[in-house]
Amino acid sequence: MRVVFLAPVYPPEMIEYARGLAEVGAAVYGVGETPRDALPGRLRPYLHDYLHVPRIMTEDDVIDRVTAWLRGVSVDRVVANWEPLVILAARIRERWGLPGMSVDTVTAFRDKQLMKERVAAAGLRVPKSRRVRTESETLAAAEELGYPLIVKPIAGAGSADTYKVESRTELDGILVKMRGVGEASCEEYIDGEEFTFDAVSRGGIPAYENIAQYLPKPLEMRSLEWVSPIILTVRDMAHPRLAGGVALGRNVLKALGMGDGFTHMEWFLTPKGEAVFGEIGCRPGGAHLVDQMNYTSDIDLFREWARVVCWGTFEAPTTRLYNAGIIFKRAIGHGTIARIEGLGDWLRMCGDSVVEEKLLRPGTPRRNWKNTLLSDGHVLVRHPDWAEAHRMCVAAATGIRMYAEP
């Protein structure tokens, strides 16, 4: 089994997927912008070979270079788990006649308007939305949909450049900020709690499913600096409140023609109990969400994803043992981390439930919280009882404080 894996270095968790491929018996041919001599030492044992390309986003150039590099080599799979590259992987598959999702199928996982249209065509609830390319189109869509509304890039990832707009005055200001965005989705604002539906699928049928709750909603995580974002996986997937979300997730996979691999979907649970589609990507969730799923079930989904895409099998147990919560911390102030308060008390309170503590240490430059949800590090806990796991997460969010100084 020979597998071309795009961007095995970035984001950093891609190294784990390269490991998974190697551990299930694949010869991994990596392709990326990192020069060969700068590849992380941890990655090197998992690569059979590697091609350095000048710009991984320049699709036609990458396709030509990879085709020339592997001429005469029988390749079985081409995969990518970083969202900006999933269409490139599909284009290579189509050029080489390899199995996997087509460009048309993958495009619906990238183009937020197209995905909503296809999901809605399957009879599933989606926010009302319009594709907009100009300021006048955005103003017209806002007039039609009404306020509040959401404006976000058609091909964005996460909550980057995503805005909740309450009025025409606010929209005028947002339009200035989004002048570099070629296409956007202007959509109905859905009031409710926000969850994920994550899956590793074989032929579009989930072999492993996960639901996690965002606390608070991602848009608030990205816009309020003082917030310590929490993502908490749910042990009890059979809870009646979540039934609509599970059914929605499975039906969305069918509607979009999912094949083999990871998907990360976001959905809303309204105060009336309605499950409403948000968006989906044919790639794993970021921000250590796969690590959380691994802690939830005591398995290795990096390896199981690789087993699915290479051999079409999933061998790990799917029993959910814990609720696993990650809490991202943001330092108060600017410059370098000066001190951490409350960590010791929190660690003693949680005891063996703490599975990771990876906060930046004093002397480390503070990260730009607007550029990364990872912020200034995280702590991760797990517990079989939801209320207890939630309590520990909130205690970390409110009781641990980091300070930065120039």
The residue extents of the domains of the chain are 2-100, 128-188, 193-405
Instruction: Say whether 18 sits in a helix, a strand or coil.
Output: helix
Cβ atoms within 10 Å of 211's Cβ, excluding its own: 22
Helix (H) or strand (E) holding 233: strand 230-233
For domain 193-405, the CATH superfamily is: ATP-grasp fold, B domain (3.30.470.20)
Reported as a single tens digit per residue, the pLDDT across 288-347 is 999 999 999 999 999 999 999 999 999 999 999 999 999 999 999 999 999 999 999 999
Reported as a single tens digit per residue, the pLDDT across 191-208 is 999 999 999 999 999 999
Q: What is the mean pLDDT of residues 35-48?
A: 98
DSSP H helical segments within 100-167, as ranges? 103-110, 112-121, 135-145
Provide the β-strand partners of residue 195. Answer: 213, 267
Note whether 48 and 71 are within 8 A (CB): no
For residue 35, cis peptide bond before it (omega within 30 degrees of 0): no
Q: What is the mean pLDDT of residues 170-195?
A: 89
* For residue 236, pLDDT beyond 80: yes
Domain 128-188 carries which CATH code? 3.30.1490.20
User: What are the angstrom distances between the C-alpha of 215 and each of 82, 196, 221, 389, 394?
Assistant: 24, 12, 8, 13, 9
Residue percentage of the chain with pLDDT more than 70? 99
> In this structure, which topology does domain 2-100 adopt according to CATH?
Rossmann fold (3.40.50)
Q: What is the mean pLDDT of residues 250-276?
A: 98
Residue percentage of the chain with pLDDT more than 90? 86
The pLDDT value given to residue 158 = 55
